A and B are shown apart, each in its own frame.
Chain A
């Protein structure tokens, strides 16, 4: 059976939440949902895992801090030690207070940009990428759930359609 995708549109986030919960109760698998703003709790209803972007940011930040400190060691201690303002650059720790500000800045720089780039790549939102939301109103005031017939073999198309209707959709459409 060729896979079809059925979309159900809601005009309210409340009906979307109760609708999605009801469909899942009936045993349907919802592939995804498209909303104009983050609907809190929807991830739990659909069973979407939380992202690990924060951990990435931590790692990027750590790399930034290490890079900055090793840079200081190289530039100011090893390669060309300079005694400026009575601050001898014999060893790194003696002059550490003067290095803290840039270490901090560089940590934040790496963490923020590293995470932002990862975010754009993971979401695949990049310049020139074509939008894949099923209906233009999902970025305005409509909420759309996506159901794949392939993933719901024990339901017929008609079943899915009627189940969707029961939950208060304002429009149902499908795509091959």
Chain B
């Protein structure tokens, strides 16, 4: 039986990362407490904004663990069976990830921060008590209040997260059971669950992205936004799967995973990068081309104040995978995959940064030790959860109707 135990070196790395994260968080809090009146709001936005960025980024990756596994079931695909435990392990972060997001939302509801502009109740009051017009009244946001209101927002968030977690638990539980019992009945249950999950996720991931991200720029709207966020999560998750598989292989585990499996993961990384770039371009080009004020402000804010970060992020996430993963041999080359993987993983973290920060810190933004530190801290937390899940079960499933087919997987 192949069992993963966390090597001391990796454990130390994880603890160091978490340590850096805790220090950065303290730094952020101190920064808020020490800030002068004028700076206070900004420091708060920076602190909570970064927690939200990391909350979204890693929760998204975890969700994609469940999503990608469900896709494999629904598509009757076999090749990925040998690496299925990695998807499962990644998905186990949903609990912590959901918690982080809920903390951010709760803090917003308590007005500890102002990331979600629409949570400000003043915007909805047209007339003040004395009968005069409320200068803070926002007609557009008030028009959205049937959707953007606290009770409905919380109901949606709790429902979505609850259902995602419920499915993740079921897949994991059945997977561990299947190791013991074998047979095909559990498999067919998984196939059925996968179909239901995909339908639910397909719709709710879109709504979730409106709720949790698009509503930051409260006035702005884009119908493509949900699929754009979705593809960003997906590519980040593909990179994480690949890095974990290569790591486990380097530790002498997962010997059943051959070059063809790695090649296939590499292909996915390439293809989903293309998908993400396509959606980025579709959204950007249509808004740029039509140039109508209610939409284009979103990109003007990013291009005026975040020019290098914005274009750099796109260039990295598009050009790197495109240029270096097009060649067949590179998709089997560990060095290439790891290097490109880390670069675009950071690239997509930057994408999340650009989803949140321009709407919350506007022109006066920061990117420094605090941002990097907190990101590393969350990465440590993520790795802690994922490696723990990995060590709880054999790294390759012991029984699955498609296991044999996957073990014989061979492509040119």
B284-300 contact mask (Cβ, 8 Å, vs A): 1 or 0: 11001101000000000
Q: Given the complex, which residues of B lie within 8 Å of A58, measured CB to CB?
A: 326
Residue A86 is within 8 A (CB to CB) of chain B in the complex: yes
Within A85-107, the residues touching B (CB, 8 Å) are 85-87, 97-98, 100
The answer on a CB contact under 8 Å between B328 and A54 is yes
Q: How far is the CB of B273 from chain A (nearest CB, A)?
A: 15
Chain B residues whose C-beta falls within 8 Å of the C-beta of A54 in the assembled complex:
328
Main secondary structure of the interface of A (DSSP, over half): helix
The answer, among B289, B326, B328, for a CB contact under 8 Å with A97, is: B289
A97 with B291, Cβ < 8 A, contacts A54-B328, A58-B326 known? no
Q: Is B281 on the interface with A (CB-CB < 8 A)? A: yes
Chain A, residues 47-59, CB within 8 Å of chain B (1/0): the string is: 0000000100010
Residues of A within 8 A of B288 (CB): 97
Bin chain A's interface residue count. under 10
| Contacting residues of chain B (271-322) with chain A, CB-CB under 8 angstroms | 281, 284-285, 288-289, 291
Q: A54-B328, A58-B326 are in contact. Are A100 and B281 (CB under 8 A)?
A: yes
Shortest CB distance A48–B (Å): 13
Q: How far is the CA of A100 from the CA of B284 in the complex (A)?
A: 12
State A39–B123 Cα separation when bound (angstroms). 70
What residues on B are CB-neighbors of A86 within 8 Å?
Answer: 291
How long is the Cα–Cα vector from A175 to B326 in the complex, in angstroms?
A: 45
Q: Complex Cα distance A85/B281, Å?
A: 19
Chain A: which residue is nearest B287 at the CB level? Answer: A97
Interface string of A65-95 (1 = CB under 8 A from B): 0000000000000000000011100000000
Closest to A87 in B: B289
Cα–Cα, bound, A86→B291 (Å): 9
Docked pose: A155 CA to B12 CA in angstroms: 66
B409 to chain A, nearest CB (A): 13
For B291, the chain A residues whose CB sits under 8 A away are 86
B34 to chain A, nearest CB (A): 44
From residue B411, how far is it (CB to closest CB) to chain A in Å?
A: 10
Please give, as numbers and ranges, the residues of chain A lying within 8 Å of B284 by CB-CB distance: 97
Bound-complex Cα distance A92 to B95 (A):
49
Question: Could you mark each residue 134-169 of chain A with 1 if its beta carbon is under 8 Å from any beta carbon of chain B, else 0?
Answer: 000000000000000000000000000000000000
Q: Residue-by-residue, is B324-336 near A (CB-CB < 8 Å gives 1, otherwise 0)?
A: 0010100000000
**Could you tell me the distance in whole angstroms from the C-beta of B215 to the nearest C-beta in chain A?**
27
Measuring CB to CB, which residues of chain A are less than 8 angstroms from any residue of chain B? 54, 58, 85-87, 97-98, 100
Which residues of B line the A interface, CB within 8 A? Answer: 281, 284-285, 288-289, 291, 326, 328
Can you show 14 pairs from A to B with CB atoms below 8 A apart? A54-B328, A58-B326, A85-B289, A86-B291, A87-B289, A97-B281, A97-B284, A97-B285, A97-B288, A97-B289, A98-B285, A98-B289, A100-B281, A100-B285
Shortest 10 CB-CB contacts between residues of A and residues of B: A97-B285, A97-B288, A100-B281, A86-B291, A98-B289, A97-B284, A97-B289, A100-B285, A58-B326, A54-B328
